[in-house]
Structure formats: C-alpha cells, structure tokens
Amino acid sequence: MEISTNPTATTPPPIPAASQDSPTSGISSDFETFLRMLTVQMQNQDPLNPVDSSDYAVQLATFSGVEQAVLTNDLLKSLTSQMNTSGLAGMADWVGKEARAEAPGFFDGQPIVIAPRPEAIADRAEIVVRDEAGSVVQRFDIAVTSDPIEWAGVDTGGFPMDRGLYSFEVVSMSGDEIIAQAPAAVYSRITEVRTESSGTVLILEGGAAVTSDKVTALRDPSA
C-alpha cells in the first residue's frame, strides 16, 4: 500500500505593512508578520517530515535578539538626546562669559588676552600672530612664563590691525633652536551654546567655534 502526501494549500493571511512611526512600532509590526509567516510554514509543512521544533526555537530566538538590539539602540538614542538637552540647559549661563581655549581670537580694536604656555626648559619664547588667511602678520618675544599677556593689535607703526579673527602660536626656543611650537589659548566671549554631533559646541565672538571640553578656564568679562 502506497501512502502519498499532498498537503492542503493554505492561503497565507494578509501581511500588514510595517509602521514607519518609530523603530519600536516597526519592530512590533515585524514581529506580528514573523509569527504569521511562521504559522503558514507550520501549516504547510510535510506531516511525514515535520520541521524540528528546535528550528522554530532558533528562529524565535534570532528574531528576539535582533528585536532587543534595536530596542536597546532606540533607548540609547533617547537617553543621549535627553543628556544633550540637559547639558545644553546647564551651560546656558556660559553665554556672555569669557572662555579660555586654543581658538582664534576676535580683534575689534580691543586688546586680546593671550594665555601662553612656553616650554619650561626654553630660555626664550615668542608669539607668532596669523590672520584668518593663515599669513603671519606679527611676531614678538615674551617671557618664559604662563602669565597672561595682552595683544594690542597694532603694527610696528602703531596702526591698528584689520578687524577679524587672529590665531596665536607659542614658539619655545633654546638658543636659536626651536624646541616646541604650539597654539596659544586666548580669552574669548561666548555668544552661543549649541548641541552638535561632536558634543556641546561654544560659538565665540567673531564666529570661532570650540567644543566645551577644550575650554580650560571661564571668567566674567570684567575679570
């Protein structure tokens, strides 16, 4: 006697489209779709050679793992957004203060305060001043200390430099040999605080930008 099998064809139930509202709603819809497909697979399997139950368990475990990973990622994004917003609100009172950072300083006729850090082993140091184009417009000797100094923004003839951003570099020397070159920090007024992908960004007077972790000091403008 010959036994033949001819599984009855079952029309799969309609599959709803995944929602695009959020990763969480999308996962919920996808999981329902997955269960429907799994049900159809079970209904149409060969009764003489059924799929091992462990295979179903593996499929369920795999989907569950992906689901948890996406949900975790969604939660992390939410927490990061909340932390950024909280950090932004906490730094609102920085606006109007002067930050010390290695960033270009804005010259508008008023002196710029520079905070140089020449190498301790140097016996001579100088400041190199560059304009926005990167051209050297001035250089002058300074004491080998970390004491703040003022740059008046005037040329050798006593005439004021052009209005704009200027960057400063400390050159440390031993005799005539250069032993180190590094950006000099300046004090600049903070005009805006932003949250960007790189973190909290401070917009300084004149438009220069620096991340908050690069600020080494903060003071009132009258200091």
**What pLDDT digit, counting tens, does each position of 112-166 carry?**
999 999 999 999 999 999 999 999 999 999 999 989 999 999 998 999 999 999 9
Its pTM stands at 0.61
**64-113 per-position pLDDT tens digit:** 666 666 665 665 555 445 545 556 677 788 899 999 999 999 999 999 99
Are the CB atoms for 148 and 114 separated by under 8 Å? yes
The pLDDT tens digits for 143-152 are 999 899 999 9
Q: In the block, which residue shows the tokens 């008023």?
A: 110
The burial class, CB within 10 Å (0-12 / 13-18 / 19+), for 128 is: middle
User: How high is the mean pLDDT of the chain?
Assistant: 79
